[in-house]
Amino acid sequence: MRFSFDLTDDLLFEEGKFLMIGGPCAVEDAEQTISTAKYLKKLGIPVLRGGAFKPRTSPDSFQGLGLNGLEILRQAKEETGMAIVTELMDTADLKELMSVSDIIQIGSRNCQNFPMLRKVGKAGKPVLLKRGFGNTIDEFLNAAKYITREGNNKVILVERGIRTFETSTRFTLEISAVPVIQERVDLPVIVDPSHPAGIARYVAPLSRASVAVGADGLMIEVHPDPPRAKSDSQQQLDFNQFKSLKDEIDRLLPVCNRIYL
Ligand SMILES: [Mn+2]
């Protein structure tokens, strides 16, 4: 078996299982996050994403609710029983973040923040490491090694698109990274189709391609009212869009030898 580890007491992630993670780009308020969590839970999605600390390209953009955002995620977890993944932006927040988050996310911009990688490695909780958008596969795998070297093998690798000369999409989803990485390391590889797409209508086709190429899961941005989202509004799926995508994945998984985690 390529990998097998616990995400929580109830969630064993192992080869053959398909991990679905959904939720808003950012935690904006309790209503927005908890209504999304409840909807996803109803569809059987086990893990809720949502940024409390947001790495925004411009300092003028919405920066996230910080610790208040963590409290909203704590409430969503209590109300739905979903596991939580949220991004760590500053290791000073690690303890607070770990009190809520079952999985620690390291974002694309911190993929090569080596002191941070060592610290989350030592912390021992599962880590979701997103590929830096300017990183080769070798650089990405070396970043993962900073975590596993600390004795933490609970690492989920995320292909989320790289920067190329192409500007029609936000980033270029490097679908070939999935089989290449799976051949090189015994870690799960999931795909985030939302950030490379940049536009909601491309999220479903990229998701289908990810299932077909053999990804071990998907992480998708879902918002109750995408046009009003405070970040990444163009690419977030509304509930109905997510439901139809989920129906398509339901049909594809058996063909691709995967069952939902
Ligand atoms: Mn986002």
Chain segment 116-157, per-residue pLDDT in tens: 999 999 999 999 999 999 999 999 999 999 999 999 999 999
CA 61 to centroid of ligand 1, rounded, Å: 12
pLDDT tens track for 152-200: 999 999 999 999 999 999 999 999 999 999 999 999 999 999 999 999 9
Residue 196 pLDDT: 98
DSSP string, 15-61: TTEEEEEEE-SB---HHHHHHHHHHHHHTT--EEE-BSS---SSTTS
Ligand 1 centroid, distance to 195 Cα (angstroms): 6
- The candidate with the shortest Cα–Cα distance to 248, out of 204, 190, 191, is 204
Count of residues making up the chain: 261
pLDDT at res. 55? 86
Q: How many CB atoms lie within 10 A of CB 14?
A: 14
Ligand 1 mean position to 50 CA, how many Å? 9
Classify residue 44 as left (phi > 0), alpha (psi -120 to 50) or beta.
Answer: left
DSSP string, the chain: ---EEESSSS-EEETTEEEEEEE-SB---HHHHHHHHHHHHHTT--EEE-BSS---SSTTS----THHHHHHHHHHHHHH--EEEEE---GGGHHHHHTT-SEEEE-GGGTT-HHHHHHHHHH-S-EEEEPPTT--HHHHHHHHHHHHTTT---EEEEE--B--S--SSSSB--TTHHHHHHHH-SS-EEE--HHHH-SGGGHHHHHHHHHHHT-SEEEEEB-SSGGG-SS-TTT-B-HHHHHHHHHHHHHHHHHTT-EE-
User: How many A from CA of 1 to the centre of ligand 1?
Assistant: 32
CA–CA separation, 51 and 85 (whole Å)? 8
State the CATH architecture for 4-55+62-260.
Alpha-Beta Barrel (3.20)
- Letter for the amino acid at 195? H
How far, in Å, from the CA of 26 to the mean position of ligand 1? 7
Q: If you measure from the C-alpha of residue 231 to the centroid of ligand 1, how many angstroms do you get, rounded to a whole number?
A: 6
pLDDT of residue 56: 86
Residue spans per domain, the chain: 4-55+62-260
| Gap from CA of 194 to ligand 1 centroid (Å) | 8
**Rounded to whole angstroms, how far apart are CA atoms 35 and 33?**
6
Tokens coding 7:
């995400």
Measure 143 CA to ligand 1 centroid, in angstroms.
Answer: 21
Residue 198 pLDDT: 97
User: What is the reported pTM?
Assistant: 0.97
Q: How far does the centroid of ligand 1 lie from the alpha carbon of residue 158, in Å?
A: 14
Distance 71 CA to ligand 1 centre (A): 20
Q: What is the pLDDT of residue 57?
A: 87
Q: In angstroms, what is the span from residue 228 Cα to ligand 1's centroid?
A: 14
| Mean pLDDT, the chain, integer | 97
Cα of 89 vs centre of ligand 1, distance in Å, is 14
Quote the ligand 1 centre to 56 CA distance (angstroms). 9
Residue 77 has pLDDT above 90, yes or no: yes
